[in-house]
A and B are shown apart, each in its own frame.
Chain A
Amino acid sequence: MSTTPPQGWTFVPHQHDGPAAHDRSDDHINSPRLHNGVVKSPGLATFMGAPYCVPDRDAIRAVGAKICFLGVPWDQGQIVRAGTSSGPAGIRDASTQYFPYMFEYDIDILTFFKVVDCGDVPTVPGNNDRSHEYIYQYITECLEGGAKVILVGGDHSVPIPGARALADFHADGKIGYLHIDCHLDSAPDWGGITNTNGSGPARALDLANCDRANIAHMGSRNGLNPKDWVDFYIDNDIRMLPMTEFVERGVEPCTREIFDIAWNGTDAIYCSWDTDSLDASCMPGTTAPECFGINAREAIQLARIAGTYGADILEISELSPIFDVSQMSTKLACCLIYHYLGSRARTLRDRGQA
């Protein structure tokens, strides 16, 4: 599939070669020395300024990457409005405003995880099934390459092939599935179609090694949750933690509860995080912005707690830059990933697993 795999993880700080190269190994976590660096001269627009790596298991293993960023510019699996195909480009651009050093955790997440950007999954216009097949294949390459995956959509049909890839990768074990979303997304089908962005958890339950006791939903609210979606959780005895409960109990106990469910006796988990779980005031750039959601502070706390548990695939979906205001949504989405990785790295380092 690929050209010659690169030997080892190599990284050019601020993506600049040439006469003004920032060539010291710590240039990417400090203020720039020679030019404005990634802030105004991002060079190649990769996520976090990470090196590009072909999405191929041998190549990923050869560079030793522990985190692969994978974009999914796909918005034809959605039932509301288009725009999320620009999500991966939006978050890559927003990441130019951040350093990979996170003072809250005192860690350089880029080097810690040897993060690579594997580019975008190719998609096929008008063909949800074939596009999903590519998503499945590309995620499988990353997992087989020994990496965890940060998946950025793209519409919320992405977890259907995504969770299937994780389930098949752990075919001899069990997986957990989390769905953090304004919407319950548990339609058995939508107008006869079974793999739209309204059926993520329903398809997760179809997986042979994903038990209903390891599935949970958090953040549901408002009136785009038809009755059959609610019935799915009641009939299958799946934990559904609505926004009213989240507000009453607070971010920490709720987040701990759903991650405890997903990790109870499982070998891996898929965490699907829809940006519309956040309040429309801090996340206007999403497919279906909704009021009464999780605010930016709580979301960053959620990401921090999630980092103490970990996830094999963390997916951020429905990011829609065309509806954004002042880049607040793409920057927040970026922060969720950065805080998750910062907290994850800190947790691993404190356990001596660095």
Chain B
Amino acid sequence: MSQKYEFSFPVEGENFDDAGKVSVEIKRLLKGLGITSDILRRTAIATYESEVNIISYARQGNINIRVTDDNILINIQDSGPGITDIEQAMRQGYSTADDRIREMGFGAGMGLFNIKNCSDSFEILSEVNKGTLLKILINR
């Protein structure tokens, strides 16, 4: 019998103290669904990086997760400034982070690259001044 679970988590921009909280919760929830540790880890790393991106660059965002027997689909949508040059943003080491982000140990320009590494399929849709949507698929 096939099962499907859906979760949605709001993430508040600029809330640096709570960075990572949602992803820790996501990992706990998915663990409860019996997701194996490697998949669990990749999913949580992808959501953590996305969460930090929302907090760092957007006013507000959402992490939506759909779990089926075959895969985990993560859609991350934010109402941030958008990405002007996606190819550049994907490069390791490229970052537009400010000091608050760097003090937390982020802003090294690894985020999107890291998310891609954890994904079996990864897509970015972004519009300047409107926001960004990341579609991350991880096969179980």
Partners in one complex: no
